[in-house]
Amino acid sequence: MSLKNRSVTIIEDLSNEEIEQVFCVADRMLESIKGQTELCAGQIMATLFYEPSTRTRLSFEAAMNRLGGRVISVSDAQTSSHAKGESLADTARVVGSYVDIMVIRHPSEGSPRIAADYAGVPVVNAGDGTHEHPTQTLCDLYTLRREKGHIKGLTVALWGDLKYGRTVHSLAYGLARFGARIVALADEGMELPEYVTARLLNEYSCHVIQGKASDLDRIVQQVDAVCLNPPSSKQLPLTAQYSGDESGHKDDRDSATGQIDVLYLTRLQKERQFSSEGAAKVRYKTIDHQFMKRAEFSDTLLMHPLPRVGELSCELDTDPRSIYFKQASFGVPIRMAL
Ligand code: NCD
Q: Average pLDDT in the 224-243 region? A: 38
Distances (CA, A) of 195 to 9, 37, 201, 233: 18, 42, 10, 20
* Res 15: pLDDT: 97
pLDDT score at 222: 62
pLDDT digit string (tens) for 150-177? 999 999 999 999 999 999 999 999 999 9
Binding site membership of 305 for ligand 1 (Cβ less than 6 Å): yes
Give pLDDT tens digits for 112-160.
999 999 999 999 999 999 999 999 999 999 999 999 999 999 999 999 9
pLDDT at 248 over 60: no
Q: How far apart are CA 163 and CA 166, in angstroms?
A: 8
Confirm if 275 and 171 have CB atoms less than 8 A apart: no
Residue 55 falls in the annotated catalytic set: yes
Lowest-confidence region among 74-83, 98-107, 108-117: 74-83
What is the per-residue DSSP string for 73-116?
Answer: EE--GGGSGGGGT--HHHHHHHHHTT-SEEEEEESSTTHHHHHH
Catalytic residue check, 84: yes
Give the residue with greater pLDDT, 187 vs 138.
138
What single-letter DSSP state applies at residue 294?
S
Mutate to test the pocket of ligand 1, among 132, 136, 142 (most ligand atoms within 8 A of CB): 136
Catalytic residue among 66, 106, 133, 169: 133
pLDDT computed for residue 174 by the predictor: 98
Quote the pLDDT of residue 1: 58
Dmax of the chain from CA atoms? 62
- Between CA 272 and CA 256 the distance in angstroms is 35
Higher pLDDT, residue 294 or 280: 294
Average pLDDT over residues 88-94: 96
Model confidence, pTM? 0.89
Known catalytic residue at 133 = yes
Under 8 Å between Cβ of 200 and 182: yes
Q: Is 250 a catalytic residue?
A: no
Share of the chain above pLDDT 90, in %: 73
Q: Which of 26-35, 286-295, 317-326 has the lowest mean pLDDT?
A: 286-295
* pLDDT value of residue 244: 38
Cβ of 166 less than 6 Å from ligand 1:
yes
Does the CB atom of residue 127 touch ligand 1 within 6 A?
A: yes
Active site residue 56: yes
Candidates 47, 56, 137, 143; catalytic one: 56
Assess whether the C-beta atom of 133 lies below 6 angstroms from ligand 1: yes
Cα separation, 165 vs 171, whole angstroms: 11
pLDDT at 212: 87
